[in-house]
Amino acid sequence: MERQQTQQPAVLISQPEKRWALLSQRACFSFRFSCCGVSDPNVMAEKPVWEQIGEGFVQHYYQQFDTNRQNLADIYTDSSCLTWEGEGFQGKNGIMGKINSLPFKTIQHSITAQDHQPTPDSCVLSMVVGQLKADDDQVMGFHQMFLLKNIDSKWICSNDVFRLALHNFGH
């Protein structure tokens, strides 16, 4: 299945976070619906554009989360959903209320693996596996997924699910 193609400039920015900022402003975004293919001849030597968008988002998200998490309000809309450890929150205010109320002062995320896919509705789906350290607590595993959607020429996070990896290990 092939999505409509539009002329796009090459995306050659090497820093994922700057790439996220650039991509989030692109008015037209489209890609072939292919997991493995390259979306645009201009970026033939680059990763597929949805992978660039996903990686840029992931770097941006955790950098903001670890340094100034109230800035994350920019990535959500009033229709966004967050499920945090099984508890649901909706909308920018609901989500930011939860994120800002998390009971630690400092946190550091470390990404172990991230996977990105294009969806049939021209979104980008990202799954992240990693570790986090909050205040003086022990390091914990976590996994998180995001659905990124282009709305009004801006990439936003429409869906966000977070779980600590406390309970999925055998003995």
**Alpha-carbon gap, residue 116 to 123, rounded angstroms:** 10
CB of 14 to a second copy, least distance (A): 21
Other residues' Cβ atoms within 10 Å of the Cβ of residue 22: 14
Stretch that binds a second copy, among 5-13, 22-30, 74-82, 100-108 (CB under 8 A): 74-82
Q: Is 167 in the site for a second copy (CB under 8 A)?
A: yes
Q: Is 79 in the site for a second copy (CB under 8 A)?
A: yes
CA dihedral (154, 72, 122, 164) in degrees, to 10, reads: 180
Q: Is 154 in the site for a second copy (CB under 8 A)?
A: no
What residues have CB less than 8 Å from 157, skipping those under 6 apart?
Answer: 57, 61, 75, 76, 80, 146, 147, 148, 149
83: left (phi over 0), alpha (psi -120 to 50) or beta: beta
CB of 39 to a second copy, least distance (A): 13
**Alpha-carbon gap, residue 62 to 76, rounded angstroms:** 14
Indicate the SS3 state at residue 117.
strand
Stretch that binds a second copy, among 13-21, 38-46, 57-65, 135-143 (CB under 8 A): 135-143
Residue selected from 38, 73, 107, 165 as contacting a second copy according to rule CB under 8 A: 165
Q: Using CB under 8 A as the criterion, which residues of the chain lie in contact with a second copy when the complex forms?
A: 1, 33-36, 78-79, 81-83, 86, 88-90, 112-113, 115, 117-121, 123, 125, 127, 129-131, 133, 138-143, 145, 147, 149, 158-159, 161, 163, 165, 167-171
